[in-house]
Amino acid sequence: MHDKPTEPKITPPNGPRDVDLITTRNLLASDDDLDRAYGEAYHERCYVVEGLVDGIEMTAVGKLDDAEAIEKEYDIDEIDISTLHIIDAFVLGARPGIGATRAERVRDGLRQVLEVRTQLEPDED
């Protein structure tokens, strides 16, 4: 039986923008693998959106910095990440996560975000 896409057991009060250090540490220390995966994403200033597309469970992981850049560029008060549909997250540049479990999908999406971030950062040689 598939678990339905929902937030992890420990959630920040107002979505990923309000994740503080204590919440992130609690997620990372959780016994629940999904909580830990979300904690890893939040630690990297990323958001996670889970949803169904044509009956397929999907996960998108994106950078909060990208959402904030779009807000600034288009003079938007705030993109409410907690209300995004999975397709909206992809439009904002989130990466799709692949895996057998929700936690695996979160980690795969995060891995992709971090790879892109590394490729875009200038070498410090």
CA 13 to chain centroid: 16
The residue-averaged pLDDT of 82-109 equals 94
The residue-averaged pLDDT of 58-87 equals 91
pLDDT tens digits, one per residue of 24-45:
889 999 999 999 999 999 999 9
Contacts of 6 (CB under 8 A, 6+ apart): 50
Who has greater pLDDT, 120 or 13? 120
At 93, the amino acid letter reads G
Looking at every residue in the chain, the average pLDDT score rounds to 84
Instruction: Specify the pLDDT at position 24.
Output: 87
Distance CA 123, CA 54 (A): 41
The residue-averaged pLDDT of 44-71 equals 92
Question: 86 with 97: CB under 8 angstroms?
Answer: no
Count the neighbouring beta carbons within 10 Å of the beta carbon of residue 98.
14
Instruction: Specify the pLDDT at position 18.
Output: 61
Question: 14 with 82: CB under 8 angstroms?
Answer: yes
pLDDT at 15 over 80: no
